[in-house]
Structure 1
Amino acid sequence: MPSPFTVQWVHATLRAALNEAIREGLINTNPARRLRLPRTRRPHAQVWTRSRVAVWQATGQRPAVAVWTTEHLTEFLDYVREDALYPLWWLAALRGLRRGELAGLRWVDIGLEIRELTVVQRLIHVNGRLRVVPPKSEASQRTIALDAETIRLLRCHQQLQHLKGLGAAGWVFTREDGQPIRPDYLTARCRRLVAASGLPPVRLHDLRHGAASTALAAHVDLRTVQDQLGHASIVLTSDTYTSVLPELHHEAAEATTRLVLTTARRTAHKLRKRTIRLRRRPTNQPPR
């Protein structure tokens, strides 16, 4: 049975097609407008805490959308460090690029000197063929800042690509014959690598969720995370992709209490610990 999100997507596609039929004069009204669809609630990403890992190991149950802790992520990156697509996994996990954006990335879109990456296209697989299409939305066409370590990885990848004679077509990530990679291949390969690593399961797209969480844990502001992910609305970023890591909640709790106690000391107010005094009953008095 299709999920509510699939039903919503099919309905949106059908409604758009029928609207086009109205413009062409083929029909007068759009019957899809009268359909009642099941209400959907966007799933929130959940972090693989120890308790969730234990449940998964015991029962196989897992959250609909799950992200790794930073410890899980570093363990995975260490496991795949010799993989030919290691820089791709790095970009997915730390910069949150979508699989089509990664597959469609060209060297001309990366400014190694200015440490920037521009998303201007993506690859999709339709009817057995790869097609270059625009980004998912206007906001998805974006420029992403790159750090020194990412630049180092990309330079090494570029040099290795030239040594193998695979850089002629200009794609950043290619197959062994130099042709671009199908996005669904990336999904399958990521699934195999995650399973082989022994880590709790995440999907390739979950690395994008985790990129937002990791950025927030590093105290990157929400608007910057929104721009990095290419979201048109900051609400979408905060509601869906920013499942902050557990340590960030603890930091927030400690910071809030620290502010109150610091203010109390500065204003000479005393906040004493609550004490509980127990009144002793006479030994000859029965309990009530």
Structure 2
Amino acid sequence: MFGKEVVMRRAAVYKRCGCRTRSEAGGGRCPRLGERGHGSWYFSLELSCGRDGRRHRVRRGGFRSRAAAEQARAYLVGGDVVPGRSAVTVGQWLDIWLEMRQSLSFNTRRLYTQQVDDYLKPCLGSVPLRSLTVARVQAMFVGLVRANAARRRPLSPATFVRIRGTLHAALNGAIRVSLIERNPAHLVELPSGRRPRAVVWTDARVAHWRATGERPPVAVWTAKQAAEFLEHARGHPLYVLYLAVALLGLRRGEAAGLRWCDLDLDAGVVQVSHQVQDRGGRTVVCPPKTEASVRTVALDHGLVAALRVLRSQRRQGDGGEPVGFLFANRDGGPLSPGYVTHAFTRLLVEAGLPPVRLHDLRHGAASLSLAAGNDLKVVQAMLGHSSIVLTADTYTSVLPCLAHRAAEATAALVLEAARDTAIALRERGRRKQRRRGKGRGSRERAAKKQHRPVRPHSAPRRSHS
């Protein structure tokens, strides 16, 4: 398709969808295609006969607008370069790739778009896709590392990994449509860096923070500090929300999006089936972060009691059960996650506790659950992780009680082994003494029979000259 001298005989740009309305209409044009946002745009190309004498038709789809489909069609046939040659640049392919990724969530698409516009297109946008090499991609990252010194907020190693991941995914898409054969981003070396681990606000670390203002990037409260915050927040309209995040490890959007129909207080469970996000100044309801995030979480008796109190406060005037969101705004819609975070920060300052993020309550919930003796697999299911490795690497800070318990267990194991070794050595010494005593007694009996004194076992014989 690329690199061949082809002549486009006929091109078409059209819109289509796969909803049931089309099949109900007898397979014809869907009557909803005129609606904004319904369906996606496609283009088809009928190419002239190749050397095999056969006609070739190329179809591509999934574009969000007609202009994007027409632009992708022009890129595909090399309409912007010398006729007879197809040289799609990296920047052009990144635009096509983003348009064709219709399954991306809002936040993921926003992240990809930002990385493409801020880093990839300025550095690699004009490079022909077929001319992209590992050295060229490596030079881009070297330039970004050097520019870090002049940045007010330097890029972290994790950001470099995400930029390479975006480029790697886009180039894999180019491989699937036979634009290139290898992925140059696969062999690129990045600055080494470690993911920040959550640390616990011990008394010594709190004293250091109060004296210097220095705080770790990720920190969690101890059980006592979490209890102090919840006691301070008691009576606040969002007290139950923060209680659920601290005990169940819910994400901010999951907690803000809870509805009364998601609760079964008699069974003591809650169903996490969606979340809310802030998008362009609006609060919208959307699916959870991953498929594993759709889960059923067990509630403890204290949280069930708090939810019953909240339900009695929210009962309608006629005594009917409340409907809609547990934590709603004045219009009955879900609260903005940004407002939930703002209220949390204000309560934290009022309580005088060491600073943590609202998301750090999720880190702490995992650590507290482990400190209570729960299995790591149970914690994974509670948090909604698809992999237990992510749970172990990210959300399991070592609390002081866990560290002390592990230290005592290790010391007990060593002391027990030392006692066993000491007992074995003493028993071996006793057996040796018994054998020596038994040997001396037999020699004494033999000496009496011969009527001569018995020399000590250890005394050497004297030689007479």
Q: TM-score range by the shorter chain?
A: 0.7 to 0.9
1:81 corresponding residue in structure 2: 234
1:245 corresponding residue in structure 2: 399
Task: Say whether 1:56 aligns with 2:205.
Answer: no
Cα distance, 1:263–1:180 mapped onto 2, change above 3 Å:
same
Residue 162 (structure 1) aligned to one of 298, 304, 315: 315
Work out whether residues 122 and 135 of structure 1, in 8 Å CA contact, stay in contact via their aligned partners in 2: yes
Residue 235 (structure 1) aligned to one of 381, 389, 399: 389
Deviations 1:183-240 (A, max 9, x none): 1111111111111110000000000000011111111111111111111111111111
Q: 1-side partners of 2:292 and 2:425: how far apart?
A: 49
Cα distance, 1:214–1:72 mapped onto 2, change above 3 Å:
same
Residue 33 (structure 1) aligned to one of 181, 185, 201: 185
Work out whether residues 295 and 384 of structure 2, in 8 Å CA contact, stay in contact via their aligned partners in 1: yes
Work out whether residues 260 and 323 of structure 2, in 8 Å CA contact, stay in contact via their aligned partners in 1: no
Residue 244 (structure 2) aligned to one of 82, 88, 91: 91
Relative to the length of structure 1, the TM-score reads 0.82
Alignment length (residue pairs):
270
Q: How does 1:1-288 map to 2 (within 5 A)?
A: 1=153, 2-9=155-162, 12-13=165-166, 28-29=179-180, 33=185, 37-162=190-315, 170-259=324-413, 261=415, 269=423
Deviations 1:64-123 (A, max 9, x none): 100001110111111001111111000111110000101111111111111111111111
Q: 1-side partners of 2:171 and 2:297: how far apart?
A: 37
Partner of 2:365, secondary structure, is: helix
Work out whether residues 11 and 32 of structure 1, in 8 Å CA contact, stay in contact via their aligned partners in 2: no
Relative to the length of structure 2, the TM-score reads 0.53
- If asked which structure has higher relative contact order (CA below 8 Å, sep 6+), I would say 1
Give, in angstroms, the shift of residue 20 of structure 1. Answer: 6.3
Work out whether residues 201 and 354 of structure 2, in 8 Å CA contact, stay in contact via their aligned partners in 1: yes
Work out whether residues 112 and 151 of structure 1, in 8 Å CA contact, stay in contact via their aligned partners in 2: yes
Residue identity (%): 51
Partner of 1:42, secondary structure, is: coil
Q: 2-side partners of 1:32 and 1:150: how far apart?
A: 52
Cα distance, 1:7–1:167 mapped onto 2, change above 3 Å:
farther
Which amino acid in structure 1 is aligned with residue 379 of structure 2?
Answer: V
Give, in angstroms, the shift of residue 5 of structure 1. Answer: 3.0
More displaced stretch, 177-186 vs 259-268 = 259-268
Q: 1-side partners of 2:240 and 2:234: how far apart?
A: 9
Q: Which structure is larger by alpha-carbon Rg, 1 or 2?
A: 2
More displaced stretch, 27-36 vs 53-62 = 27-36
Q: 2-side partners of 1:164 and 1:189: how far apart?
A: 28
1:285 corresponding residue in structure 2: none
Partner of 1:117, secondary structure, is: strand
Cα distance, 1:83–1:21 mapped onto 2, change above 3 Å:
farther
Q: 2-side partners of 1:98 and 1:271: how far apart?
A: 58
Cα distance, 1:15–1:53 mapped onto 2, change above 3 Å:
same
Work out whether residues 316 and 322 of structure 2, in 8 Å CA contact, stay in contact via their aligned partners in 1: no
- RMSD across aligned C-alpha pairs, in angstroms? 3.0
1:280 corresponding residue in structure 2: none
1:276 corresponding residue in structure 2: none
Which amino acid in structure 1 is aligned with residue 199 of structure 2?
Answer: Q
Segments of 5+ residues of structure 1 without an aligned counterpart are: 273-288
Work out whether residues 116 and 143 of structure 1, in 8 Å CA contact, stay in contact via their aligned partners in 2: yes
Give, in angstroms, the shift of residue 249 of structure 1. Answer: 1.2
Q: 2-side partners of 1:144 and 1:236: how far apart?
A: 19
Partner of 1:215, secondary structure, is: helix
Partner of 2:278, secondary structure, is: strand
